[in-house]
Amino acid sequence: MKVAVVGATGLVGGEMLKVLAERQFPVTELIPVASEKSVGQEIEFLGKKYKVVSMDDAIAARPAVAIFSAGGSTSKEHAPRFAAVGTVVIDNSSAWRMDPTKKLVVPEINAKDLTSEDKIIANPNCSTIQMVVALNKLHDTYKVQRIVVSTYQSVTGTGKKAVDQLMEERAGQTASNPAYPHRIDLNVLPHIDVFEENGYTKEEMKMVKETKKILGDDNIRVTATTVRIPVMGGHSESVNVEFEREFELEDVVRILRETEGVEVVDDVKNNVYPMPKDAHGKDAVLVGRLRRDETQPRTLNMWVVADNLRKGAATNAVQIAEKMQAMGLLG
């Protein structure tokens, strides 16, 4: 199967190549794509070297699937061109997520809704993915009414420029090309993406809108505060969720243990709970600190951690491709 990775030289693109190899996706020909300045560069995949090609050359090769991680404007311009030649596009940007004609897919939840008509499929925001994976089966059982979420997000979510800023600051240097308006080392920024007119950031509003679309329930009320912290390895989230139906904590733990893609890490007596360093390199969503909210009925507190470059981006995209292949939807 011909597989194009658009944005192959970036942080997420590199992770996509790693995940394709690890999960033994049946790549017979890899087509790495990047910006014009990277064309001709070589990347290695499964012991072979491949030259980065231009967008036009990749489209001419008519791959079965193209996994995009190259920014919204690139996706808007070029994803329809791939789709026009029959390629299935799985896009990691925000370009298509809220388009009512495009599916927003987390494979454990709604891959079953995909059809042969779906040529451009949106990969959700990293912070949304891990939260809905954790909540999906609980929503089926108890029906989520309201979510209050605060995120603690890794600098890797911004990209290499942000990682460089953190490392330079940690080494006692002034960042040469800062990604953020303030220092990030020994600091916390309650600011991810741009601020909108309502005072929320775009990242916060992504979580609000995407959660409803993925879970298929516009009645779920979501409010979010998204925060950048000086860590690498994964995003963490404090999730307070109010259900319509009463729950027993032991049943919640059982349901989570049975939820595809979730690993329960919750033994506070032994100081065991999810942390980014333990999520790094894993595909599972780690869930712990499970406890009742004692201030109001039918409400649960949980702590959710996942590697944002893997389940939050690359792994979710590859899993979509896997599901489509299993369903006979890839050429």
Q: Report the pLDDT value the prediction gives residue 14, as an integer from 0 to 100.
A: 94
Q: Are residues 34 and 97 in the same domain?
A: yes
If one counts the domains in the chain, the total is: 2
259 is in an annotated binding site: no
178 is in an annotated binding site: yes
For the chain, give the percent of residues with pLDDT over 90.
98
Question: In the predicted model, what is the mean pLDDT of residues 268-282?
Answer: 97
User: Is residue 44 over pLDDT 90?
Assistant: yes
Read out DSSP for 266-280? Answer: -BGGGTB---HHHHT
Residue 265, beta-bridge partner list: none
User: Is residue 284 over pLDDT 80?
Assistant: yes
38 is in an annotated binding site: yes
5 is in an annotated binding site: no
289 is in an annotated binding site: no
Question: In the predicted model, what is the mean pLDDT of residues 168-192?
Answer: 98
Residues annotated as catalytic (active site), given as ranges: 126, 235
Instruction: Write the CATH number for 243.
Output: 3.30.360.10
User: Is residue 189 over pLDDT 90?
Assistant: yes
Q: Is residue 102 part of a domain?
A: yes
Q: Report the pLDDT value the prediction gives residue 331, as an integer from 0 to 100.
A: 74
Q: Is residue 40 part of a domain?
A: yes
- Give the structural domain span for 231: 127-308
154 is in an annotated binding site: no
Q: Are residues 131 and 34 in the same domain?
A: no
As a residue count, the chain comes to 331
Q: Are residues 247 and 189 in the same domain?
A: yes
User: Is residue 215 over pLDDT 80?
Assistant: yes
Q: Report the pLDDT value the prediction gives residue 282, as an integer from 0 to 100.
A: 97
Question: Which residues 6+ apart lie within 8 Å of 293 measured at CB?
Answer: 240, 242, 299, 300, 301
Q: Is residue 147 part of a domain?
A: yes
Q: Is residue 331 part of a domain?
A: no
Q: Is residue 321 part of a domain?
A: yes
Q: Are residues 115 and 139 in the same domain?
A: no
The whole-angstrom separation of Cα 198 and Cα 264 is: 36
Q: Report the pLDDT value the prediction gives residue 33, as an integer from 0 to 100.
A: 97
Q: Report the pLDDT value the prediction gives residue 9, as an integer from 0 to 100.
A: 93
Q: What is the pLDDT of residues 83-102, one digit of tens each?
A: 999 999 999 999 999 999 99
Tokens 């949980």 sit on residue: 302
Q: Are residues 156 and 299 in the same domain?
A: yes
Q: Are residues 104 and 175 in the same domain?
A: no
Instruction: Write the CATH number for 46.
Output: 3.40.50.720
Q: Are residues 173 and 102 in the same domain?
A: no
Q: Across all residues in the chain, what is the average pLDDT?
A: 97
Q: Is residue 236 part of a domain?
A: yes
Q: Report the pLDDT value the prediction gives residue 147, as an integer from 0 to 100.
A: 99
The whole-angstrom separation of Cα 212 and Cα 301 is: 20
Q: Are residues 103 and 147 in the same domain?
A: no
8 Å CB contact between 15 and 22 = no
Q: Are residues 67 and 147 in the same domain?
A: no
10 is in an annotated binding site: yes
Question: In the predicted model, what is the mean pLDDT of residues 132-147?
Answer: 98
Q: Are residues 135 and 190 in the same domain?
A: yes
Q: Per the confidence metrics, is the pTM higher than 0.85?
A: yes
Q: Is residue 177 part of a domain?
A: yes
153 is in an annotated binding site: yes
Q: Are residues 170 and 276 in the same domain?
A: yes
Q: Are residues 82 and 133 in the same domain?
A: no
β-sheet with 2-6: strand ranges across: 29-33, 2-6, 65-68, 88-91, 120-122, 103-104
Question: In the predicted model, what is the mean pLDDT of residues 179-199?
Answer: 98
